[in-house]
Amino acid sequence: MIDYQEYNLNKFKEFIDNILTKKLKGSFTFGESRDKVYSIMENDTAKLSGQAFYSVIILLNQNLETSCQHFFKNHPAKLLNSISSNSTSRLRDLLAPHLNSRLELSKASQIGNTRLGELFNETKGVIYACEVYGLAIAFGIKPHILFEYFYGDGERPVIGL
């Protein structure tokens, strides 16, 4: 399962501080930019919400795809077996992405089955950034596309193509 400590708010602050240092150190806007970034994250949970991740990356005008690749580089998620299979049945290929069990999705995305149930039932409204990433990998879509869908103005992604 996901090691939430690997992708938590403190790790993200380190990641962002490196970006700010490389991009703005010594400029007049360094302090102002850092204050804006930290104000986005001040009410976030220790587990870093997808919303905060997306908002900060966009605010800093960073490439979302590249930022996902770097920040989540060791994430253990993998493609759902039903999406990656090379069957000879066209019907199976057509329907397989939609017939996965929650347990299969949990294993592929590395989100615990109980936590996944909470997300499906909206009992815990916040989706953490590492969970958005894990779902994208499991569904075979680029993570930045799922972040754009959830938090930007991105279109609903097509899963399994």
Tens-place pLDDT, residues 15-64: 999 999 988 877 888 888 899 999 999 989 899 999 999 999 999 999 99
Q: What is the DSSP string of the chain?
A: ---TTTTSHHHHHHHHHHHHHHHHTTSTTHHHHHHHHHHHHTTS-TT-BHHHHHHHHHHTT--HHHHHHHHTTT------HHHH---S-HHHHHHGGG---HHHHHHHHT--HHHHHHHHTTSS-PPBHHHHHHHHHHHTS-HHHHHHHHHSSPPPPPTT-
- The residues spanned by each domain of the chain are 9-71, 81-151
Tokens of 57: 């990356």
| pTM of structure | 0.88
| Section 93-103 average pLDDT | 72
Give residue-wise pLDDT tens across range 111-145: 999 999 899 888 777 999 999 999 999 999 999 99
For residues 82 and 161, the model is more confident at 82
Structurally, what CATH architecture does the domain formed by 81-151 represent? Orthogonal Bundle (1.10)
pLDDT, position 101? 82
